[in-house]
Amino acid sequence: MPRPRTGPLWVERIETLTEEGESVASIFRTLKQEAEQDGRNDYPGERTVRRIAEAHRRKPEHVRREAALFRWPRTMLAGTLPWEASRAALNLLRIYDQEGWGRPTVKTVRWFWRVSMAAPALSPEATARLSAMLQNIELASEIKVPEEEIGWQPETYELILAYQPWQDSEHRQAAEQHVPAPALREWAKIELGPVGFLEAQADA
């Protein structure tokens, strides 16, 4: 029987804890505790944690750094993110702090910064929701999750960002004319949903 695939967000969590210097045993205990707090039992076993942690350590340093927790100004001083990303990064850190989620990873900050540049008028909360979705799509692709299981692709949001329906009624009308209806419905969930959507993504 083939081994069940480890969920992409478990993989990301293991990589982050590995990059933060935790041992395999400590990571396993952390995942077990976090899963039990959320009423889940799908956390990976210790052997799986070891396999993912060892694979992460074999990656090039610049790739590994993406899994580290963001810290200003240390992340910028290390050259992992440019200083120009500071405002976007601190906006996201504020959201995480207010929600009691700890710190975002460098990769999470990078996606938030990317969306902030593409849509500077979008609220930080909606930016966080959209960037979380795009990051999860990227992560699922990296660990070879079949495309049909991923669902939405980054291109789903390309026209949304191009037409900017959040700007005003004129932009919204243009989006309704040119953006496929399924993409608009998906966007409505992101634009109007609570910040807690990020936690829902983590539970996916």
DSSP state at residue 22: -
Residues 6+ apart with CB under 8 A from 113: 81, 85, 88, 89
Q: Please answer whether residues 10 and 40 qualify as being in contact, where contact means their C-beta atoms are separated by less than 8 angstroms.
A: no
Buried b (16+ CB within 10 A) or exposed e, 124-141: ebbbbbbbbbbbbbebbe
What are the tens digits of pLDDT across the range 99-126? 999 999 999 999 999 999 999 999 999 9
30 and 121 co-located in one domain? no
User: Residue 156: which domain range?
Assistant: 69-202
Give the pLDDT score at 198. Answer: 44
Is there a domain that residue 1 lies in? Answer: no
Does residue 131 surpass a pLDDT of 60? yes
33 and 121 co-located in one domain? no
111 and 182 co-located in one domain? yes
Q: Which amino acid is at 152?
A: W
> Taking residues 129-155, what's their average pLDDT?
76
Is there a domain that residue 2 lies in? Answer: no
Q: Which residue has the higher pLDDT, 153 or 183?
A: 183
What are the tens digits of pLDDT across the range 47-71? 999 999 999 999 999 999 999 999 9
Q: Which amino acid is at 23?
A: S
58 and 138 co-located in one domain? no
Rounded Cα–Cα distance for residues 82 and 104 (Å): 16
pTM of the model: 0.84
What is the domain count for the chain?
A: 2
Of 48, 64, 80, the residue at which a domain comes to its end is 64
Closest CA to 166 of 132, 137, 130, 202: 130
Rounded Cα–Cα distance for residues 70 and 108 (Å): 9
176 and 98 co-located in one domain? yes
- CA dihedral sign, ordered 106, 109, 115, 116: negative
